[in-house]
């Protein structure tokens, strides 16, 4: 299966368990890997035979910036579900959500979760 990757998309959202996170917000990064057959798009040079990544970006932006989730797991699940419902030619999607500066008094470069959802699981 072919892959389309959208790497390190940046958004500003209000996700988290702590009230400060919902009030102040923070930057989030999202990576997507879409598995689909890209052979016809490659042969025909036709955008209608693939997935328009600019459109995917806008859909992800709307989810990340338009709603508040307590858990980045829920954020990732909503992104995966949206992609699989919107793009019927995508067989599976891997979503990685990175919260680079969680509000804890510990020192690391962020936390990330990664999920993979397949069309068959819908």
CATH label of the domain that carries residue 50: 3.30.1130.10
Mean pLDDT by 10 residues, the chain (122 residues): 97 93 92 98 97 98 97 98 97 96 73 94 58
Contact 57, 83 (CB under 8 A): no
Tell me the whole-structure pTM to 2 decimals.
0.93
Q: How many domains does the chain have?
A: 1
| Whole-number pLDDT of residue 101 | 80
Phi, psi dihedrals of residue 73, rounded to the nearest 5°: -60, -40
Domain that holds residue 81: 2-121
What's residue 104's pLDDT? 67
Residues with catalytic roles: 99
Q: For the segment 49-74, what is each residue's pLDDT rounded down to a tens digit?
A: 999 999 999 999 999 999 999 999 99
Rounded Cα distance between 93 and 107, Å, is 31
DSSP tally for the chain: helices H, then strands E? 4, 4
């Amino acid at each position: 299966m072919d892959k389309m990757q959208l790497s390190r998309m940046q958004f500003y959202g209000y996700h988290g368990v702590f009230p400060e996170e919902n009030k102040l917000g923070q930057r989030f990064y999202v990576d997507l890997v879409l598995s689909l057959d890209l052979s016809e798009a490659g042969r025909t040079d036709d955008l209608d035979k693939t997935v328009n990544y600019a459109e995917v970006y806008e859909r992800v932006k709307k989810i990340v910036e338009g709603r508040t989730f307590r858990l980045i797991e829920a954020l990732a699940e909503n992104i995966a579900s949206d992609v699989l419902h919107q793009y019927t030619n995508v067989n599976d999607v891997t979503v990685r959500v990175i919260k680079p500066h969680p509000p804890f008094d510990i020192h690391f470069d962020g936390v990330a979760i990664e999920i993979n959802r397949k069309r068959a699981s819908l």
